[in-house]
Amino acid sequence: MMWFVVVATSLAAWLQKYLGHLVPESFVNHPRVQRATLLLPVGLLAALIAVSTFTESGRVSFDARIAGLAAAFVALLLRAPFLVVLAVAAVVAAGVRAFTG
Amino acid sequence: MGIGLAVGMFGLSFGALAVASGLTTAQAMVLSAVMFTGGSQFAFIGVIGAGGAGVAAAAAALLLGARNTFYGVALSPLVPSSGLRRVTTAQLTIDESTAMALAHQDAGEPRAARTAFWATGIAVYVGWNLATLAGALGASWLGDPADWGLDAMAPAAFLALLWPRLRDRETVAVALAAVAVALLATMVAPPGVPVLLGGAVAVVVALATDRTHR
């Protein structure tokens, strides 16, 4: 089942790219469509942050991941590169977990 | 150079997180080789990792991938192709290759734009897939991802992806509203759905504010 979803979604993602090379420019250049495309990733990514930080198996939960996210936020404020942001989050979360058991 | 390093690190973390969220190394590789669009791949494993259904993971990935269609529209006059060639052109249509090609177009160098598209696209494709493999194999050795704080890397990755998009008060407001809606939805909706509702918040705001602006 997971294989089917992985392959089907991957092919659909490719089709999205392919269609762009085919469709007339006038359709996607509509200002309303453009605004929606600009904001859509913001909403999705913000929701992904919320779900991956504050939920566990479909329920709201609070644990060391929150400290990791806070550390990532500070790292981004300090203009740290991508991997440093992730490493800081992992180290802080693992550290908090080790101390609080 | 900077792009290469960033892609490598990003790919490493994708491979590791994909395995941590329950995919096999082979499945992570199919995502990187065929889907080949980082934001969608992270969204996919994010929903799966949160216990979401396959349909919800697919929807989140494809909603994030919608921007690639726009890239294709912008690229088609710059990088003309047809037949089998177009299959490849489409596959390499991603953030980095589009940005490089459009930068050369803005500088008034259409031929350099084409070269930049292919060079960037191929380099990122190779680097991304090698890094994914390394990350997935590395994560399989680590054992419990939580002990290493790997589960905290997913939120950090999403925040890093969101960061450059927070350009003004409106985008920050949309992000905060999406967080609130997603958490409220978690209490009543099955996993995966809250992420899609976050996207819906953004579209509603886009359509509503568009009307007042013009």
By percentage, how much of chain B surpasses pLDDT 70? Answer: 95
Instruction: Collapse the DSSP code of B138 into the 3-class scheme (helix H, G, I; strand E, B; otherwise coil) and give the result.
Output: helix
* DSSP 8-state class, residue B209: H
What's the pLDDT at B210?
66
Angle B47-B43-B62 from CA coordinates, rounded to 5°: 105
Q: Which pLDDT score is estimated for A27? A: 66
**At B189, is the secondary structure helix, strand, or coil?**
coil
| Cα–Cα dist B179/A52, whole Å | 11
Q: Which residue of A has its CA nearest to B49?
A: A52
3-class SS at B12? helix
Q: A21 and B90 in contact by Cβ < 8 A? A: yes
What are the beta bridge partners of residue A56?
A59
Q: What's the rounded mean pLDDT across residues A73-97?
A: 92
- Measured between beta carbons, which residues in chain B are less than 8 angstroms from residue A54? 183, 186
pLDDT confidence of residue B22: 92
Distance CA B46, CA A52 (A): 7
Please give the Cα distance from B53 to B201 (Å, whole number).
21
Look up residue B64 and give its amino acid.
Answer: L
ipTM: 0.88
C-alpha–C-alpha distance, residues A5 and B153, integer Å: 24
Write the residue in B5, B156, B207 that is nearest to A69 by C-beta.
B156
CB contact under 8 A, B58 and A9: yes
Count how many residues are written for chain B: 214
Q: Are A43 and B202 in contact (CB under 8 A)?
A: yes
B91, closest residue in chain A (CA to CA): A14
pLDDT band at B59 (very low <50, low <70, confident <90, very high): very high
Q: Find, in chain B, the residue whose alpha carbon is nearest to that of A94.
A: B149
Domain ranges of chain A: 1-52, 63-101
Q: What percent of chain A has pLDDT over 90?
A: 55
> Distance between CA atoms of B86 and A20, rounded to whole angstroms?
11
Structure confidence at residue B134 as a pLDDT band (50, 70, 90): very high
First to last CA, chain B: 42
Contact B124, B3 (CB under 8 A): yes
**pLDDT score, position B86:** 93
Q: Do the chains contact at A19 and B69, CB–CB below 8 Å?
A: yes
Which conformational region is residue A57 in: left (phi greater than 0), alpha (psi within -120 to 50 degrees), or beta? left
Could you tell me the residue ranges of all domains in chain B?
2-149, 166-214
B165 or B172: which carries more pLDDT confidence?
B172
What whole-number distance in Å separates Cα of residue B182 and Cα of residue B204?
15
| Residue whose pair of structure tokens reads 């300090």 in the numeric block | A78
Contact assignment for B207 to A32 by CB distance below 8 Å: yes
Are B149 and A37 within 8 A, CB to CB? no
Per-residue pLDDT at B214: 46
